[in-house]
Structure 1
């Protein structure tokens, strides 16, 4: 039986059943909390991945810390969504060369990818553009033609990177995570594969649960802080009438805020949702003098504790917040 020597005292390894296995676990680094949660679920019983964008930080505005750089240098496997979301990671990952296995999960087979939206009730990137005041039904259906037009309005090939807000996309990413971990650490392949099967079942159950939560309010229009929710919207048929800003890196000007204030009344928006990482006073201005209520959505899990259950807490939280505000509860 192997033994451990601590401060000169030899202790049988029998008292530390996880020590040997933890030492054998690959060093895995993840970019954001939702991805960390999926990787954590698949790695349970083997090890715990490290997280770069922790706490209430946002990948849209994050600056890499020295401790993050060290973690990347030591990593055997790195998971991120891709340069469209975590732009701050693009150059550091290029500098790593082939020292680590790097998986961009926006390349996972089977993903549904939706293009950025512009125009209508959604902000065009050129602040000088005119904004269409058509109703939500006129500009905001889910058909392929609308998606194609939106893609043409944005950079060619660009897509919304908030992919995890559809549980079926989470399943596709989990499959890629599993394949990557098995290739990097075949000794623990059976554990990864068993955990992945269990995760798939949980994601299917979550999908059905969310559909039931939002069903009573899915036809009520609302406005969000930035256009991060179209995967959730696309999956569950809810009505996002517009966003205060398309890009959270850009603070909207007075004209834009005034326009959204008008649209709250025009579109009959029931709620306007803030996000914990960004300026909540803008939402107060937007709803002032209207019947709309305010709520909070947290698409990147800024307020949640990292771990294997975070993804499920995140998705249930979004569904419950929508139902609560839109039903007046």
Structure 2
């Protein structure tokens, strides 16, 4: 019996030695859309982590001590950049492992806010910008462009291949498949919104310009309202006048909270209130999760406008 046990231990050890080693590469992203892109790249190898919980704002998230430890400990960290996550630069100064601000990647298609408050397109390799919507500042909602998703995915694949050569072929083939799916998605989304492209709609936050630009849409106005401050009667009247002039229209807020002003602003008008979720906070981390976020965005926007 003792001899049989010894043989079993030796046999088991030989099987473990012969088994292919799994990558022990920890990837952390700041926000869900970046996690979903990384998930597509790492499909079948590992599941990347995400820093911000669902519903948290990437503009002003308050990091916990455990969050700081995660940022410092992972092998690769990806974030949009200081124009979006202004709370991160100070934390990253103490990080010794690689971190990538994707807004600075070569080949990214970037938009900037103009004097009229609207964002305009601009292609560049790298620059530094303010994180808010002041004229000339970067529109950092760049993940809503599949052009940028392709660039980000390829960067992730190259980084992972460099430190995990055993799975390099898988990372690259996953990325190729992801880019192919995005090509198909672009066509589907253009067809989905084509019939509503001329219908007016308004947003509470200018966060969707990359998506609008890609698929031939254009919001009619932005009702920028601070969550904690109620605008004065004159300002509300001016906003209602714009809605009245637009006629039947949709006004989109972002989850998880609808501005308290929304019902007052639209009461008695032929206006539909709806939501657009550009962060996809509750989207499962699957290989096609990123496509699901964009498809839902198109479906929700078109669905509201089709019902006018």
Q: TM-score range by the shorter chain?
A: 0.7 to 0.9
| Equivalences for residues 288-307 of structure 1 within 5 A | 288-307=267-286
- Secondary structure of the residue aligned to 1:87 is coil
Which residue of structure 2 aligns with residue 100 of structure 1? 97
Which of 312, 320, 324 is the matching residue for 2:291? 312
Say if 1:101 and 1:184, in contact at 8 Å, map to a contact too.
no
Q: Distance in 2 between matches of 1:299 and 1:117?
A: 22
Which residue of structure 2 aligns with residue 253 of structure 1? 231
Say if 2:198 and 2:217, in contact at 8 Å, map to a contact too.
yes
| Greater C-alpha radius of gyration | 2
Matched, 1:111 2:108: yes
Matched, 1:231 2:210: yes
Say if 1:142 and 1:234, in contact at 8 Å, map to a contact too.
no
| Equivalences for residues 260-271 of structure 1 within 5 A | 260-268=239-247, 270-271=249-250
Number of positions where the alignment pairs a residue of Structure 1 with one of Structure 2: 290
Q: Distance in 2 between matches of 1:300 and 1:70?
A: 24
Call closer, same or farther: CA 1:83–1:324 in 2, change over 3 Å. Answer: same
Say if 2:32 and 2:50, in contact at 8 Å, map to a contact too.
yes
| Equivalences for residues 8-47 of structure 1 within 5 A | 12=12, 21-22=21-22, 24-47=23-46
Say if 1:276 and 1:302, in contact at 8 Å, map to a contact too.
no
Q: Distance in 2 between matches of 1:326 and 1:177?
A: 36
Which residue of structure 2 aligns with residue 276 of structure 1? 255
Which residue of structure 2 aligns with residue 74 of structure 1? 73
Which residue of structure 2 aligns with residue 184 of structure 1? 163
Q: Distance in 2 between matches of 1:291 and 1:173?
A: 41
* Unaligned ranges ≥5, structure 1: 1-8, 123-139, 145-150
> Post-superposition shift, 1:42?
0.3
Call closer, same or farther: CA 1:14–1:30 in 2, change over 3 Å. Answer: farther
Which residue of structure 1 aligns with residue 6 of structure 2? none
Which residue of structure 1 aligns with residue 181 of structure 2? 202
For residues 47-87 of structure 1, the C-alpha deviation after alignment (integer angstroms, 9 at most, x for no partner) is 11111012222212311122221211211110111111111
* C-alpha RMSD of matched pairs (Å): 3.0
Say if 1:118 and 1:154, in contact at 8 Å, map to a contact too.
no
- Name the structure, 1 or 2, with higher relative contact order (CA <8 Å, separation 6+): 1
Of stretches 266-275 and 195-204 in structure 1, the one that deviates more from structure 2 is 266-275
> Post-superposition shift, 1:179?
2.0
Which residue of structure 2 aligns with residue 125 of structure 1? none
TM-score w.r.t. structure 1 length?
0.79
